[in-house]
Structures are given as structure tokens and as C-alpha cells.
Amino acid sequence: MSKLDTLAAIATDLTAVLSAEDRYQRLLEALHIAIPYDSAALLRVNGDCLVPLAARGLTPDVMGREYFRKNHPRLDIICGSDGPVVFSQDSPLPDPFDGMLAKDPGGLHTIHACLGCPLYINEKLVGVLVADALDPKAFNKLPKKYVMAIGSMAGAQMQTVDLLAALEKQAERQGLLASDLMQDIHLRRGSNILGKSKTMQHLREEIELVAKSEFTILILGETGVGKELVARSIHSQSRRRDKPLLYLNCAALPESLAESELFGHVKGAFTGANSDRTGKFELADGGTLFLDEIGELSLEIQAKLLRAIQEGEVQRIGSEKMFHVDVRLLAATNRNLEKEIQTGKFRADLYHRLNVYPVTAPPLRDRKEDIAILAGHFAEKSAAQLGLKAVRLGDDALQLLHRYSWPGNVRELDNIISRAVLKASHSSGNKEFIIIQANNLAGDFGDAIYTNPTPVAKSYPVMETGKISLRDEVKSFQIRLIKTALINNNGNWAAAARDLDINRSNLHNLATRLGIRQKKEED
């Protein structure tokens, strides 16, 4: 009955929710019901080496050892067998656990009975179960089929543990990915590259071309031009689009944490490393990793990044193990890396690895015909955030937007439109339909709206309080612009509208509001 109890106990544990260590220990405990051993060990096959997974009745140092087959002939014989092996008491082969019995700490007795069983999963050797006893006849009456059944169930336990471990690792990776991607959703704003200018059409053609390759791409451009959107577009059109795209801003990382973020670390690698951490390269395996502001990385980390690109291998801090990763790298910078190389701040070999195919995101000042499209997009986004039903941009506001030089590029336009929508919603009595006027923008631009190099005389209208009126100043500025355009075009409104980059009917309406033109006035 004890043999059946043993099998029942092992079978029950196969379906129980247990940790790997508990599963293995309970397996050895169940075996002891029917097998009169003094010690038992479960070992995993790792190439030519056997590594202990669990032990019972042996000294604690067993768990820190590795058993190479060439050094332990008994284990080698067990591994080469297709069934249980019982060694005779007069076998000249040394027992791997002689002197390590917990009940015989001094090693006064030599192990006389040794039973070994190879563990197979799908005809592949995965481990070894070994039982020892001081009684030389301890295993003589054990049926071979019974031991083989135990071996099969022990192999099943190992498979169960391996499957659970794989699922836990995958769940952990998916959890980390989910965390990264949720953070990415909150931090990254928008995913479409907007604009109809020739410059943007060319950029989209470049993206479509490089997306199909596996090249490392260096995305260049000033701050705020939308380099991260270029990276997203490349990934979304690539063969990896169903895999994760992870983002890391290198400029936001202290140097002490940058290596850990990229490559991960093991517990105890440094002060504060209380648990293992998976780096971005491992998390992005199979997908794409976008490193923004890569020019901010230290030379030491640049060297490790170069290895990851060249060899496809990463090493966690504090670990000797190498992980192979399949990651497509996209990098971005607003720095001139060639100058950084000359000053010794950036590695030339890394630059050439990154610069396989450079893509440049243009500044907003070079595609001003896209400003209205972008402004409309940002206005709609801000309206949704504020719970407004409709927000429109007045012609005078668009004119100011076109005259500005945009040193902060698209990001600055987004911020200015967001503030303008908030100001307009506060000052407007009609919450259903809001129009952004020039006076909602002028406070952001100040004198920067005068980007025309020709000096313009400033006759600020002063109120009784002695303060400058922004509303009146903007109106005065618009009147001067329109009159100058009309003079330069001999009073031709259509030509003046072309010079001012405004629709002719919109110019008529604006001029009428400003008192320059009567409603029924003909061209």
C-alpha cells in the first residue's frame, strides 16, 4: 500500500499550486514512504554537468555543488541508461555523495546501496534521481517497473516546474512591457506625422523606405520636431510592428542608472539592487528599442551599447551570463555627433554603427504651410481635454502663427495652442463655439512675432493707466501689414492676400473687421 501512497502523493502534487522548491522537496518526501533511503537528490542535466535541484538527508553544501559526468562515473552511467540502475555494494566506483550524509556528518560510513534513475521528457534526458542508503540491501526488493513509474512522474514534475517557470517569466515580461507601454501612452502624445508640405512628403517617403529594412536608424533634428513620431512611424511600418516598441529618454537618466535601465541588473549588484531587474534590451527582444537623446550617454555605456548592437548580446550588471537579444535599434539626437566625436564626447565606432541610414526631421520654420494643420490638430486635442465642443482658429491668429520663427518647433506650437484654447475658453461667453484670436496668442510671442528683418516703427497705444494694450497693439500691427501689402500690390487685394499667405475672402473679412475695407467695397 505504501507504494501506491507514494504514487498518489506525487500525482497530487503535479496539480497543486506549489513553488519549484516545494514541488521537488515534496517529491523526495513522497519517495521516502516506499523507498528506504538515507539520502536522495534530484539533479538537472545541464550539458555535461548535473546541478542539484533538491536534496534530502544530505549536508547543505550539496546544493552549491556541480557534478560533472567525467568526474562522477556513477552519475555518468545513470545518464547513459534507459532505466533504473542499482549499483552493487562491492562496486569500485565512488559514490558522489560519500561523506555527505546528514546522519553521518563525519563520513565514518561508506554508502553501500545506490539507486539511480534517469529522467526523460519526450525521450530527452532532463535529470537524474539518486537515492543512497547505508544498508547494502535497501533497494534489492524494489520492482524495476515501479522505479520507472516514479522516474516518469519525477520527470513530469520537472516539466511542470519548467512550464510554470516559463509562464511566470513570460508573465513578468508581459507585465513589465505593459507597464512600459502604458507609461509610453501617457508620455508620448500623438502617433501621426501631420503635414502636406513637400518637406513632410519627402520625410514620409524616407520612412517608408527604411521601415522595410532592419537597419539601425539615426533620427536627427532639433528639439521638439517630433523625432519620436518618426521612430513610431518606422516601427509601425516595419516587420516588427506586432512586437513592442519601447522608449527610453537617455537625457532623463542619471549616469548611475542608465546602464541598469538598458541592460538590467541582478540582485545585490550594487547598493539598492534588492531584486533582479530586466533591462530595456531584454524587454524589447523581437521588437524595437528607441533611444532618444542618445548623445547624452557616457562613453562607458556607449561601449556596452556598441557590443549590444554588434553582437546582439547584453549582460546584466553583476551577472556573468550573456543574453542574446533580437532588437532593432532606433536612436535620436539633436546634437551634432560628428562634432561630439571631435571633442571626444562620442565614440566614432558607435556613430558609424548608428548612422547606417540617417533620417532628418525638419524644423517647423521650414514647413510653415503645415502650421494650420498642426494648430487645428492641437486645438481639437485641447478642446477634448477641456470638455469644449468646438474650437476654431481666427485668421488673425493664424497670421501670427505663420510669422513666428518657432525655435521650439512642433512641441512649442502644441504648448502655445493649448494655452490659447484655455485663455479663449475663459474669456468667451459662448462655451459651445470658441474662436482663438490673435490676442489669445500675443502674450506667448511678445516681440518674437516680428520675424521680418525690416524694422517696423512701434507706436504702442497707451491706456490711461500707462500700461500697453496687447489687443490694440495686435490690431495696429495687422492694419500696418495689410496696408503695406496693398501698397506693394497697387491696391490689388488678391495679390496682397497671396503676399500675406491668407485666403482672399478671409483677408476681406479681416480688413472689414479692422475698418480698412467697407463691406460692399469692390476690388
> Which amino acid is present at 83?
G
| For range 303-324, the mean pLDDT | 89
Distance CA 59, CA 105 (A): 8
The overall average pLDDT reported for the chain is: 79
Residue 495: inside a domain: yes
Question: Is residue 343 domain-shared with residue 384, that is, in the same domain?
Answer: no
Question: Is residue 371 domain-shared with residue 358, that is, in the same domain?
Answer: no
Question: Is residue 77 domain-shared with residue 213, that is, in the same domain?
Answer: no
Say yes or no to pLDDT of 129 above 90: no
| For range 344-354, the mean pLDDT | 94
Q: Identify the weakest region by mean pLDDT among 29-33, 126-130, 404-408.
A: 29-33
Closest residue by Cα to residue 278 from 161, 167, 174: 174
Residue 184: inside a domain: no
In angstroms, the first-to-last Cα distance of the chain is 111
Question: Is residue 319 domain-shared with residue 225, that is, in the same domain?
Answer: yes
Number of C-alpha atoms within 13 angstroms, CB side, residue 396? 25
Choose one of 407, 428, 451: the last residue of a domain.
Answer: 451
Choose one of 310, 338, 362: the last residue of a domain.
Answer: 362
Question: Is residue 212 domain-shared with residue 316, that is, in the same domain?
Answer: yes
Residue 177: inside a domain: no
- Predicted confidence band of residue 255 (pLDDT cuts 50, 70, 90): confident
Q: What is the CATH number of the domain that holds 229?
A: 3.40.50.300
Q: Identify the weakest region by mean pLDDT among 13-17, 118-122, 406-410.
A: 13-17
Say yes or no to pLDDT of 503 above 50: yes
Q: How many domains does the chain have?
A: 4
Residue 282: inside a domain: yes
pLDDT at 389: 75
Question: Is residue 144 domain-shared with residue 248, that is, in the same domain?
Answer: no
Question: Is residue 233 domain-shared with residue 353, that is, in the same domain?
Answer: yes
Say yes or no to pLDDT of 21 above 80: no
Phi, psi of 391 (to 5 degrees): -130, 130
Residue 185: inside a domain: no
Question: Is residue 294 domain-shared with residue 423, that is, in the same domain?
Answer: no
pLDDT digits (tens, 9 = 90+) for 435-470: 888 888 866 665 444 333 333 333 344 444 445 567
Say yes or no to pLDDT of 276 above 80: yes
3-state secondary structure of 179: helix
Q: Which residue has the higher pLDDT, 267 or 471?
A: 267
Question: Is residue 324 domain-shared with residue 397, that is, in the same domain?
Answer: no
pLDDT digits (tens, 9 = 90+) for 184-233: 544 444 447 888 899 999 999 999 999 999 999 999 999 999 999 999 99
Residue 170: inside a domain: no
Distance CA 483, CA 477 (A): 10
**Cα distances (Å, whole numbers) of residue 35 to 7, 31, 59, 130, 148:** 12, 6, 20, 11, 13
Question: Is residue 484 domain-shared with residue 394, that is, in the same domain?
Answer: no
pLDDT at 171: 47
Question: Is residue 12 domain-shared with residue 142, that is, in the same domain?
Answer: yes
Residue 412: inside a domain: yes
Asked if residues 34 and 6 have their Cβ atoms less than 8 Å apart, the reply is: yes
Q: Which domain does 242 fall in, by range?
A: 192-362
Q: Which residue has the higher pLDDT, 142 or 179?
A: 142
In a 10 Å sphere around its CB, with 0-12 CB exposed, 13-18 middle and 19+ buried, how is residue 82 labelled?
exposed
pTM across the whole model: 0.55
Q: What is the CATH number of the domain that holds 115?
A: 3.30.450.40
Residue 169: inside a domain: no
Question: Is residue 394 domain-shared with residue 443, that is, in the same domain?
Answer: yes
- Predicted confidence band of residue 117 (pLDDT cuts 50, 70, 90): confident
Which uninterrupted H or E stretch holds 223? none
pLDDT digits (tens, 9 = 90+) for 56-72: 888 877 887 889 999 89
| For range 505-516, the mean pLDDT | 84
Choose one of 433, 451, 469: the last residue of a domain.
Answer: 451
pLDDT at 156: 63
Q: Identify the weakest region by mean pLDDT among 51-55, 368-372, 491-495.
A: 491-495
Q: Identify the weakest region by mean pLDDT among 263-277, 279-293, 376-390, 464-478.
A: 464-478
Residue ranges of E strands in 134-244 = 217-220
Q: What is the CATH number of the domain that holds 418?
A: 1.10.8.60
